[in-house]
Amino acid sequence: MTGTGDHEDAATYGATAQAAIRRPGRWWGRKGTAAKVESYTRISFHLFPVAQLVTALLSLTPVPARSALPVAGALLVHVVLGLRLTGQALDWVAGRRARPRRLLFAYMACGFAGAAIAALVLVKLPDDPPATYYTACVGTYVLFLAFSCGLGVLALRTHRQSLVAVAVATFGGWLLGSALLPAPAAAALALSTLLSAGGLTLASRFSIWLLQAVYELDEARHTRARLAVAEERLRFGRDLHDVLGRNLSVIALKSELAVQLARRERPEAVEQMAEVQRIAQESQREVREVVRGYREADLYTELLGARGVLSAAGITCTVTGTPTGLPRPVQAALAWVVREAVTNVLRHGNAAHCRIALTVVPAGPRAEGRPAVAELTVENDGVPSASDGSTGGHGLAGLRERLAAEQGTLEAGPAGKSAFRLVARVPVPAHEVAESGVPGETAERARQELE
């Protein structure tokens, strides 16, 4: 989910299992989608041997303990092997260990041995077994072979191998039944084995296919997120090249010219070096602007980028409002809020929806001398334990410092059972709203992209 490096829950399986005992809700809430599907699949398959044990013991209930004990012993061994095979086979499907071949063969052999013991003890050896013995034999015999095939296919690679396993279980059951039971009973057991083993095999293969599809989708989601980050890095590199490329070339040429003029003792060398100093200082300022994210980037860029990155991570993002008319300092401050909020959404929790809303609250007729307020709200779900974020985190502390420079405020905290809300407010003087903003064509194009 990803990959992963992308399946991080496997690395801490023991710790999360212990945490689940203490806080099952939080343990489940911290898992991603792929991890939840895997946990559900594991629990389902581990219930298969338990269901086999319960069903077989119910079939053996009418049988006296002397006859039922050998069958119950073989059944218990088969169930224990089935539980071990289920865990190791699912780890193999997830790519965390080698295929458990020896355990698979031992489980299949134990299934045939258990079926043989059931037929011998309940039908073959007794002189005149009652009808209840036949019923118990049919139940345990089919269960041994069907579950051997149904769980054994978890450790097989292809669908063809699964079909071969069903055929082997059916044919082997028929041969074993023919040697120990009357021909009609052997044929009936073979047919029951075919139907039971085929159904369990189909369910197992479909569950494994679904689990692998979830793994691939999770890996694709992480890959898209990494590509979005890589694209942003490329854009940053292009900006640095645009800033430094021309200026460094000019500095090199003017420095070389200054050297030639200095060798000739021409006074113009000082002017050229002064120009080199000016260009160097200008380049330094532009590089700082690029690093801080201010160069050719306003709130429009951050809102569009946030929606793209969150969508790439599989999170539905809704953006409302446009920063048309907001002054550049206010846009820059709120752009940092968007960037930090989106980073927190991606890093923490398991968000499925994120809402970003930008509004300008007017001062009102009674609030003389008070400016309008630009309010940015970022709210996301998927937070298992929404703790108060008003005092935590270096990122939020840095945002408060940036907003304080514009007399702004920041509020962060839970917004319901599993949601988190971050609200930034920055005052906007009336004269700056009227005089600043982006050009009409750029604003219209950005507005269309946001909508």
Q: Let me know: does 154 contact 208? Beta carbons within 8 Å.
A: yes
CB atoms < 10 A from the CB of 424, how many?
Answer: 27
The pLDDT value recorded for residue 169 is 86
The band of 368, judged by pLDDT with boundaries at 50, 70 and 90, is: low
Per-residue model confidence (pLDDT) at position 1: 37
Residue 363 has phi, psi (to 5 degrees) of -70, -35
- Label residue 2 by pLDDT band (50, 70, 90): very low
- What sign does the dihedral 121-127-131-132 (CA atoms) show? negative
Q: Label residue 80 by pLDDT band (50, 70, 90).
A: very high
How confident is the model at residue 394, as a pLDDT? 62
* Own/partner pairs, 436-442, CB within 8 angstroms, 24+ separation: 436/325, 436/326, 436/327, 436/328, 437/324, 437/325, 437/326, 437/327, 438/298, 438/300, 438/323, 438/324, 442/300
| Banded pLDDT at 349 (limits 50, 70, 90) | low
DSSP letter assigned to residue 372: E
How far apart CA 311 and CA 317 sit, in angstroms, is 7
Mean predicted lDDT score pLDDT of the chain: 79
Q: Give me the residues paired with residue 358 across strands.
A: 376
- Average pLDDT score over residue span 125-149: 80
With 70 as the cut, is the pLDDT of residue 344 above it?
yes
Q: Which phi and psi angles does 129 have, rounded to 5°?
A: -65, 140
pLDDT of residue 35 exceeding 60, the answer is: yes
* Across 349-366, average pLDDT: 79
322: which residues sit within 8 A by CB, 6+ positions away? 300, 358, 443, 446, 447, 450
Sequence-distant (6+) residues with CB within 8 A of 23 are none
Question: Average pLDDT in the 349-358 region?
Answer: 86
Burial (CB count <10 Å: 0-12, 13-18, 19+), residue 299:
buried
Give the pLDDT score at 141.
85
420-428 β-sheet, strand order: 316-320, 353-361, 372-380, 420-428, 409-414
Average pLDDT over residues 394-407: 81
DSSP H/E element including 27: helix 24-29
For residue 176, the one-letter residue type is L
pLDDT at 47 exceeding the cut of 90: yes
List, in sequence order, every residue forming a beta bridge with 361; answer none if it has no partner: 373
pLDDT greater than 60 at residue 294? no
> If you search the block for the tokens 């009102």, which residue do you land on?
364
Residue 390, pLDDT score = 47
The closest of 207, 435, 426, 185 to 329, measured between CA atoms, is: 426
User: Residue 387: its pLDDT value, please?
Assistant: 52
Specify the pLDDT at position 107: 92
Judge contact between 422 and 341, C-beta under 8 A.
yes
In this predicted structure, the answer to whether residue 4 has a pLDDT above a threshold of 60 is no
CA 183/CA 179 separation, integer angstroms = 9
The confidence score (pLDDT) of residue 30 equals 67
Is the pLDDT score of 8 beyond 50? Answer: no
The stretch 48-59 carries a mean pLDDT of 90
Q: pLDDT per residue over 154-192, tens digit each?
A: 998 888 888 998 998 888 888 877 877 778 878 888 888
Q: Whose structure tokens read 């269901």?
A: 51
Local confidence band at 440 (pLDDT 50, 70, 90 cut-offs): very low
Instruction: Give residue-wise pLDDT tens across range 325-342.
Output: 888 888 888 988 888 888
Proportion of the chain above pLDDT 70, given as a percent: 81
Rounded mean pLDDT of 106-120? 88
Instruction: Using the predicted structure, report yes or no on whether residue 395 has a pLDDT greater than 60.
Output: yes
Q: What is this structure's pTM?
A: 0.56
Greater confidence (13 vs 186) lies with 186
Determine the pLDDT at residue 267: 85
pLDDT of residue 75: 92
pLDDT of residue 7: 39
Q: Tens digit of pLDDT for each residue in 221-255?
A: 888 878 877 887 887 777 777 777 777 877 888 88
User: How far apart are alpha carbons 169 and 166 in whole angstroms?
Assistant: 5
pLDDT band at 16 (very low <50, low <70, confident <90, very high): very low
